[in-house]
Amino acid sequence: MGELFGDEDIVVNGRFHGTLRVDRRVTIGPDGDVEGEIYARQVIVGGRVKGDVHAAERAELTSSGAVEGSVHAPKVVIAEGARLEGSVAMSGEKAAPASGESLPETGEKGASPAPTPSN
C-alpha cells in the first residue's frame, strides 16, 4: 500500500493499491484497478475503484466504470452501464484541490434564472 502525489494528470491502466493525491485529473482506464482513496480536481473512472473518490470539481463514471465506495464532488456524471455501490455526496461549493491550495477565482457566481421573454 502506498501513496502517489502529483501535480499533473495521472492515468492508471494497471493495479494500484493506496492513496492517489493529484492536483489535476486522475483517469482510471478500462483496465485500471485501484484499491484506495482518490483525491483530485477531476476524476474519471473507466475501470474499477474500491474506495472513496473525492473530486474538487467533477467526478465521472464511464459506461465501463465501477466504484465500490462513496463519490464526493460538486458535479457527478454517471453513464449508463456504470456501477456504483456506495453513495454520492454533492455540494454546490467547489472543494479544495488535493494539495489543500485554494482554487483560482473564475468570476462565476451562482446560476441566474433565465430571463422571461416579453410579449
d(CA 61, CA 75): 12
Give which of 94, 102, 38 is closest to 71, Cα–Cα. 38
Distance of CA 4 to the CA centre of its chain: 16
Asked if the model's pLDDT at residue 21 lies above 50, the reply is yes
| Range list of H helices, 19-83 | none
Give the Cβ contact number of residue 93 at 10 Å: 6
What mean pLDDT value characterizes the chain?
A: 84
pLDDT tens, residue by residue, 73-118: 999 999 999 999 999 999 765 544 444 444 434 333 334 344 445 5
Asked if the model's pLDDT at residue 31 lies above 70, the reply is yes
Domain hosting residue 26, numbered range: 2-86
pTM (2 d.p.) = 0.76
**Pairing outcome for strands 25-28 and 38-45:** parallel
Give the model's confidence band at 51: pLDDT under 50 very low, under 70 low, under 90 confident, else very high. Answer: very high
Share of the chain above pLDDT 70, in %: 76
